[in-house]
Structure 1
Amino acid sequence: MSEGNLSVLPQSSGGNAGGGAIVDLEFGSVADFKRRLTDMKAKYDFLQEFFKTIMVKDEDFGVVPGTQKPTLYKPGAEKLCELYGFAAIVKSKEEERDFETGYYRVNHTLQLVHRASGIVVGEGVGECSTFESKYRYRWVSENKVPTHLEKADLLFEEKEGQYGNYKQYRIPNEDLFSQWNTVLKMAYKRAYVGLTLQCTRSSGIFTQDEGDMDEYADVPEEDRKKAKGRTANANSGRFQGGAHQSGGRSGSGQPTGTVQKNRVLKLMKDFELGWDGLAEAASMALGRQIVKVVQDVKAEAEWKKVGDFLEQKPDGGAGFDPADLPEDL
């Protein structure tokens, strides 16, 4: 019997001895497990540092009112895939269309591929249709209910406004065709975000709770804005993210301590630099050895120097060899 396998003992002719029992063999030594544990902890610490220094609240992730865990947005998923050197490809797309009713359903199957090696690291599915409530219906005030609809037959919600209580009614969306492109993008986003969480092992930090997101998206826009305002203070401390809790904001509306970092990240993407290439550029800009940019570059002023250096170079620093995946990941 080889190490790392399960073996089934043969059936004994007498009693229950043997009995087809599965024997759990040893999967490596204690030293092997300790080494793996140390390696996993280092990777997790690096990922946490990435979230603290790169991810921007309300741009890359956000907290949906009524939920506990931050929800990962597509821009945040794209940053994670950039970190890991992953690229998404569409394996298949299934569509159903009805040009009479406006019904449209699309199913995306995506694969994440490690760019440097070409290895497929995961596969995920995302689906969306115009018959989901947020596309099939819309909310309107009482005076905007079409005359051919009976208010008694419609769902409604009572609201409190500046001038007293009022009602909003849910009516069918008369133009489902205008939702087709949105539905197409939503199916892709669901597959992409879910697959990113799976392949980067980020589910412990973020969620992709479509139930929460769908319910939130079905709320009228004005009520969503009110809900965000009421929960802003309560949500501000839910994500432990260093730079996001620095307290101040820049003139662009971003938290202070993240503007120059995100500028550098954008330049890195524009020039198609890998993490090794960015580290080389940072070393030249700062005049000292930079191995892991997000760990070795701390001060906002240093991030600015790196950004200025990249902008001065027409190609971000000719001769950089992109490295799609950090060595310890």
Structure 2
Amino acid sequence: MNDDFKVKEDNYTYALSIIENMDIGNIEDSMNKIYKFQKVIQKTLVEGHDYGKTFYGSSKPSLLKPGSEKILMLLGISSEYEIIDKVQNYEDGFFAFSVKCILKKNEKIVTEGLGHSNSRERKYLGGKQDVYMLGNTCLKMAKKRALVDATLTVASLSDIFTQDMEDMTQFEEEERVETMSLKDAKDIKVTFGKYNGKTLGEIYKNDKGYINWLCEKSRDDGIARACKMLLSSEFDTEEIQKKADRMPPE
């Protein structure tokens, strides 16, 4: 028996012993409490303030700083920050910070989260922000990302929220909209209304009127553009067919 196999076998045996010594009743009770807590959070937090909207390409909304602070307040948890790495190059205008967020309850550490930000992120490039303010901006962003990372862990909320990326959401959404293909448009899943859970392609086959309505009324640029592409593809197909019908037989 080689050493690697022996180590794997020992690890498996140790993991199995942990499971065997667990009180399944207590575990089931804890899982139910986590599920109920998640439901309370979903009902209580406010979209657009405590968490960001779900943009296309993402299956979950992003937890924002105000939402994180509310969750920690509910749990009676305090936060502290520690800069674990930094670069401050004022001559070249480059700043980078890596921050640890330490969550405590009754002065005992519960968990930690990490966050990083630097001035070469695309959202800072080409901006008009004072280069000497970028350092402070990056530090605040790193702290915010570390806070959300820690909150998602301590509250077991990764099932319903993703990392705090609202600062990048607009850029990413614009980029996706600009590069969207017809297949991308068809695959976008609607997360609201009577067709909740259906893709635009599925809806298009059964209810083109609803696609037309979304094209005009949707406040989501990605969905509006996708609907326009679907309707345009229908028009193009019809025009091609009409031209083919008008052509004399060979």
Deviation at 1:42, TM superposition (A): 2.8
Cα 1:218–1:181 change in 2 (3 A) is: farther
Deviation at 1:131, TM superposition (A): 1.0
Q: Report the residue type matching 1:130 in the other structure.
A: S
Cα 1:178–1:217 change in 2 (3 A) is: farther
Deviation at 1:190, TM superposition (A): 0.6
2:92 to 96, 101, 104: 101
**Contact 2:115–2:142, Cα closer than 8 Å, also in 1:** yes
Total equivalences in the alignment: 172
User: Structure 2 matches for 1:124-203, cutoff 5 A?
Assistant: 124-138=113-127, 175-203=130-158
User: Structure 2 matches for 1:204-243, cutoff 5 A?
Assistant: 204-208=159-163, 210=165, 214=168, 216-217=170-171, 234-236=190-192
User: Structure 2 matches for 1:12-161, cutoff 5 A?
Assistant: 21-22=9-10, 23=13, 24-25=16-17, 27-28=19-20, 32-52=23-43, 54-66=44-56, 67-114=58-105, 117-138=106-127
Structure 2: unaligned runs, 5 residues or longer: 178-189, 197-250
The structure showing larger relative contact order (alpha-carbon pairs under 8 Å, at least 6 residues apart) is 1
Q: Report the residue type matching 1:69 in the other structure.
A: K
Deviation at 1:112, TM superposition (A): 0.5
| Aligned match of 1:283 | none
Deviation at 1:180, TM superposition (A): 2.5
* 34-43 vs 191-200, which moves further: 34-43
Aligned mates of 1:102, 1:26 — CA distance in 2? 51
Aligned mates of 1:109, 1:44 — CA distance in 2? 27
| Aligned match of 2:227 | none
Deviation at 1:194, TM superposition (A): 0.8
The two structures, once aligned, show a CA RMSD in angstroms of 3.2
**Contact 2:83–2:97, Cα closer than 8 Å, also in 1:** no
Residue deviations 1:249-280 (CA, integer Å, cap 9, x gap)? xxxxxxxxxxxxxxxxxxxxxxxxxxxxxxxx
Aligned mates of 1:218, 1:178 — CA distance in 2? 24
**Contact 2:98–2:115, Cα closer than 8 Å, also in 1:** yes
